[in-house]
Amino acid sequence: MHMQDAKEVLKLRDICLRFGKAEVLRGVDLSVKQGEVVVIIGGSGSGKTSLLRCINLLNVPSSGSIVIDGETLFDLDRSGADKAGLKPAQVNRIRAQTGMVFQQFNLFPHMTALQNVMEAPVTVKRQNRQEVEKRARDLLAQMGLDQHVDKRPAQLSGGQQQRVAIARALAMDPKVMLFDEPTSALDPELVGEVLKAMVALARSGMTMMVVTHELGFALEIADRVIFIDQGLIAADGPPEQVLLHPEHPRLKQFVGRFHETADLLRPFLEGKTAAATH
Amino acid sequence: MTFDWTVVTSNAHLLWQGFLITLYYTVTTIVAGLLIGLVIGLIQLSPFRPLVWLGRLYVEFFRNIPLLVIVLWTYYALPIFLGVNITKGWAGFLALSFYVGSFYAEILRAGVQSIDPGQTDASTALGMSYGQRMRRIILPQAFRRMVPPLAGQSIIQMKNTTLLSMITVPDLLYQGSYISSFTYRPMEIYTAIGLIFVVVLVPLTLLSRKLEKAGMVTK
Ligand SMILES: Nc1ncnc2c1ncn2[C@@H]1O[C@H](COP(=O)(O)OP(=O)(O)OP(=O)(O)O)[C@@H](O)[C@H]1O
Ligand SMILES: [Mg+2]
């Protein structure tokens, strides 16, 4: 990869987030380059979701700064002085440059798949309806959903819903896509179709930040893996280094659990493939 | 005792006039109440604390005072406080509208708050403003859930208009007591009035059940 000279799409500096007394993020610095795929791992409650939600201000940090493609979305120093001073309309516009995919899909249940994808470009960007519809149909086709454009979310499987959600986010032409455990709510047999769509998206050059427990996916597609522990980035490096040769003690423990389950399953998996080839 | 239904048939024109008045106040106060409920409900959902409290104050005030007291107070006391003349029609209209508005506001607030916060997350993340989120995403879903309680409250509202007779607005009930006063047959008259309400409201109840079912299908 030639990431050295690619431009920065996202820059977080010293992000802190508090819920009441609880310090959930304690100073996260991170920059993501154009086309980079960053996988975020970490234990439950470590702050992964919180970090993603800070990037589009669904959670408002108590301090820190967020710059998306050169535009400052948020800038509050630890003394509380607001250096960005943005109006809500400006925040909405910059925020629309990120796309988010949620664990629970969060599709709009009163709209069809097509209407879900068309909603934001028409309502927020006021783009021409015919052009938006054409683009939305293309995106849904790209997600393998040509047959389902006129169905409502309730008529779709979890995997199909999540792919509609990806298309909905892509319709706004985001500079960076944020995925929060996009396959955790899916039945195991549906995980593959969503991961496949995400791999294709990554290969097409989309900048992505992905919170996931699918370490195989991370090894396959990530440029970097970040391990979050107690609200801080505890490890940050290429996937082989972070996942296969962890140094940080808690990261070792965390990755070890996955290796253990993989080891436990191996005989079964191998037996199964052996049986299948006979 | 035997029922003598001729007192009803021979005074049908009076009952009909009363029925029209009842219908008139039912419809107009429901419409006005919906507007009030929309405003007060949205105020209670706004991010500004003082506005929220103002909305709460309104709702608790009108929900917790007996309607009869509100009606009488609006007719007898309000004109003195404001130094203006209010006709009994206006007093009744205002009292009933403000009263039902507080219930509608609560239905709206509960309906909006019952929508999964993930819907707000998703629409916010797409760059939608507060107004766009409400108009396009939250309210259309909330309205569907609000149909049954709105219908229920509106049915109660029609029955509540009978309190207008206390300030001599010539509604169905007022006509009933008037007819009784010269026929001395209150049993027949009030039974007939009860039946009129049943005949109007039962089909409406059935209709709201249908709407509720339709809403569930599209969910
Ligand atoms: N809205 C909130 N109010 C209060 N505390 C919260 C809120 N959201 C998250 N937290 C707390 O912040 C901490 C981090 O939560 P977060 O959801 O970011 O963790 P996570 O790493 O995504 O965990 P998981 O793997 O379980 O999804 C947790 O202790 C959680 O209880
Ligand atoms: Mg999470």
Give A-chain residues touching B129 at CB under 8 angstroms.
Answer: 88-89, 92
Please give the average per-residue pLDDT across B43-54, as a whole number: 92
Specify the ligand 1 atom closest to the Cα of A20: 4
CATH superfamily of B19-218: MetI-like (1.10.3720.10)
Unique residue bearing structure tokens 């499987």: A157
Per-residue confidence (pLDDT) for residue A79, from 0 to 100: 77
The closest CB to that of A89, out of B119, B129, B144, belongs to B129
Question: CA-nearest residue of chain A to B126?
Answer: A96
Say if the Cβ atoms of B119 and A102 lie within 8 Å: no
Q: From chain A, which residues contact B within 8 Å (Cβ)? A: 53, 56, 58, 88-89, 92-93, 95-96, 98-100, 102, 104, 106-110, 119-120, 123-124, 152, 154, 165, 168-169, 172
Confidence class of residue B219 from pLDDT cuts 50, 70 and 90? very low
Residue A146 tokens read as 């040509």
Per-residue confidence (pLDDT) for residue B191, from 0 to 100: 94
Please give the average per-residue pLDDT across B144-156, as a whole number: 91
Which residue's CA is the closest to the ligand 1 atom numbered 22? Answer: A49
Element (H, E) at A9: strand A8-19
Map chain B to HEC letters. CCCCCHHHHHCHHHHHHHHHHHHHHHHHHHHHHHHHHHHHHHHHHCCCHHHHHHHHHHHHHHHHCCHHHHHHHHHHCHHHHHCCCCCHHHHHHHHHHHHHHHHHHHHHHHHHHCCCHHHHHHHHHCCCCHHHHHHHHHHHHHHHHHHHHHHHHHHHHHHHHHHHHHHCCCCHHHHHHHHHHHHCCHHHHHHHHHHHHHHHHHHHHHHHHHHHHHHHHHC
Mean pLDDT rounded to a whole number for chain B: 92
Which residue's CA is the closest to the ligand 1 atom numbered 5? Answer: A19
Phi-psi region of B172 (alpha: psi -120 to 50; beta: other; left: phi over 0): alpha
Cα separation, A257 vs A255, in Å, equals 5
Specify the ligand 1 atom closest to the Cα of A211: 22
A16-48 pLDDT, tens digit per residue, is 999 999 999 999 999 999 999 999 999 999 999
Mutate to test the pocket of ligand 1, among A48, A59, A60 (most ligand atoms within 8 A of CB): A48
pLDDT at B212 over 80: no
Phi-psi region of B162 (alpha: psi -120 to 50; beta: other; left: phi over 0): alpha
Question: CA-nearest residue of chain B to A168?
Answer: B126
Per-residue confidence (pLDDT) for residue A267, from 0 to 100: 67
Identify the CA nearest to B170 among candidates B13, B7, B4: B13
Per-residue confidence (pLDDT) for residue B215, from 0 to 100: 64
Sheet holding A208-211, edge to edge: A98-101, A176-180, A208-211, A37-42, A224-229, A232-237
Question: CA-nearest residue of chain A to B122?
Answer: A106
- Cα B65 to ligand 2 centroid, rounded to whole Å: 46
pLDDT at B90 over 50: yes
This complex has an ipTM of 0.89
- Cα A44 to ligand 1 centroid, rounded to whole Å: 8
Please give the average per-residue pLDDT across B108-134, as a whole number: 96
pLDDT at A277 over 50: no
Q: Which residue has the higher pLDDT, B32 or B210?
A: B32
Q: From chain B, which residues contact A within 8 Å (Cβ)? A: 116, 118-119, 121-130, 132, 136-137, 140-141, 144, 218-219
Residue B60 tokens read as 């608790």
Please give the average per-residue pLDDT across A184-205, as a whole number: 94
Cα separation, A248 vs A250, in Å, equals 6
- Sign of CA pseudo-dihedral B41, B214, B133, A99: positive
- Sign of CA pseudo-dihedral A124, A155, B112, B156: positive
Residues in contact with ligand 1 by the CB-under-6-Å rule are: A 19, 22, 24, 42, 44-50
Angle at B82 between CA B78 and CA B87, to 5 degrees: 55
Per-residue confidence (pLDDT) for residue B83, from 0 to 100: 87
Confidence class of residue A276 from pLDDT cuts 50, 70 and 90? very low
Per-residue confidence (pLDDT) for residue A39, from 0 to 100: 97
- How many Å separate Cα A122 from the centre of its chain? 24
* Bridge partners, A226 (sequence order): A40, A236
Angle between the N-to-C axes of helices B88-113 and B49-64, in degrees from 0 to 180, rounded to the nearest 10 = 120
Please state the φ and ψ torsions of residue A16, each to the nearest 5 degrees.
-120, 145
Confidence class of residue A229 from pLDDT cuts 50, 70 and 90? very high
Q: Which residue has the higher pLDDT, A265 or A80?
A: A80
A198-227 pLDDT, tens digit per residue, is 999 999 999 999 999 988 899 989 999 999
Cα separation, B19 vs B199, in Å, equals 12
A126-175 pLDDT, tens digit per residue, is 999 999 999 999 999 999 999 999 999 999 999 999 999 999 999 999 99
Please give the average per-residue pLDDT across B163-183, as a whole number: 94
Per-residue confidence (pLDDT) for residue B211, from 0 to 100: 78
- Cα A49 to ligand 2 centroid, rounded to whole Å: 4
Among A248-262, A264-278, B38-52, B105-119, the least confident range: A264-278
Among A94-98, A176-180, A259-263, B181-185, the least confident range: A259-263
Question: CA-nearest residue of chain A to B138?
Answer: A108
